[in-house]
Amino acid sequence: MRLKIVQAGEPVLRQTARALTREEITCDEIQRLIQDMKETMQDAPGVGLAAPQVGLPLQLAVIEDREELLKGLPPQEVEDKERRPVPFHVIINPVITFSTDDTVDFYEGCLSLAGFSAVVPRARTIRVKYLDEHGEHQSIEATGWYARILQHEIDHLQGTLYIDRMHSRTFASLENWNRFWKAKPIRAVLQDLSRV
């Protein structure tokens, strides 16, 4: 079932979501929610979706960066973003246990801020501990775009949106991003906008 994605201004997007117990994770209700969130994310389409984005203050997010989403991108963009396909998986009660000091800037969007984008600095590499959809402990290390997706979704679980981390002068409607900024390297965008 496709779920409604709530938009910025909904109080649930600014709450710290509550952790789930292993018993809750394996119950039918949460298992159904995971499937509904997967369908909603794929239908949007998006690469991640956190439970607060569908109105539920739970420490749960689904992630998947499908090969088909990468096919429509210029090869240089895929390389610059260190973007690779990421199979579908669920992160529950995630904690970032390590992040590098080196950050990278890229435009980022959000299904809960439909129609907008901004340049957001994120750690290039992170390590995350979490529970999977079976309540089992997992740990992953991610680099590039995958690390960005994880940081974005984990932010949602803490009541943080990308607009809290963005270079505010880069915030634009997708229409204007396509008109003025899409073809420019991020460094040039930041340089141009620092002079305005």
- The enclosing domain of 158 has a CATH number of 3.90.45.10
Mean pLDDT to the nearest integer, 33-43: 98
Q: Structural domain tally of the chain?
A: 1
The C-alpha atoms of residue 17 and residue 46 are separated, in whole angstroms, by 21
Is 50 within the bounds of a domain? yes
**pLDDT beyond 80 at 195:** no
User: How high does pLDDT run on average in the chain?
Assistant: 96
**105-109, 117-121, 187-191: segment of lowest average pLDDT:** 187-191
Does the predicted model carry a pTM greater than 0.85?
yes
Is 141 within the bounds of a domain? yes
Give me the DSSP letters along 178-195: IIIITTS-HHHHHHHHH-
Mean pLDDT to the nearest integer, 78-95: 97
Is 154 within the bounds of a domain? yes
Mark residue 82 as left, alpha or beta (left: phi above 0; alpha: psi -120 to 50; beta: remaining).
left
Is 36 within the bounds of a domain? yes
Is 3 within the bounds of a domain? no
Mean pLDDT to the nearest integer, 44-64: 98
The C-alpha atoms of residue 22 and residue 135 are separated, in whole angstroms, by 5
Element holding 175 (H helix, E strand): helix 174-176
Radius of gyration of the chain (CA): 17
Is 21 within the bounds of a domain? yes
Mean pLDDT to the nearest integer, 67-80: 90
- Given a contact cutoff of 8 angstroms between Cβ atoms, the answer to whether 20 and 133 are in contact is no
Residue for token pair 């529950």: 92
Which listed residue (67, 82, 153, 175) is catalytic? 153
- Phi first, then psi, for residue 171 (nearest 5°) are -60, 125
Boundaries of domain holding 142: 11-100+122-163
**pLDDT beyond 80 at 68:** yes
- Given a contact cutoff of 8 angstroms between Cβ atoms, the answer to whether 121 and 100 are in contact is no
**pLDDT beyond 70 at 14:** yes
User: Which residue type sits at 60?
Assistant: L
Is 181 within the bounds of a domain? no
Count of Cβ atoms closer than 10 Å to residue 194 Cβ: 9
CA angle 156, 158, 162 (to 5 degrees): 45
- Given a contact cutoff of 8 angstroms between Cβ atoms, the answer to whether 70 and 83 are in contact is yes
**pLDDT beyond 70 at 196:** no
Would residue 153 show up in a list of annotated catalytic residues for this protein? yes
**How do strand 60-65 and strand 48-50 relate by DSSP bridges?**
antiparallel
Is 53 within the bounds of a domain? yes
The C-alpha atoms of residue 196 and residue 193 are separated, in whole angstroms, by 5
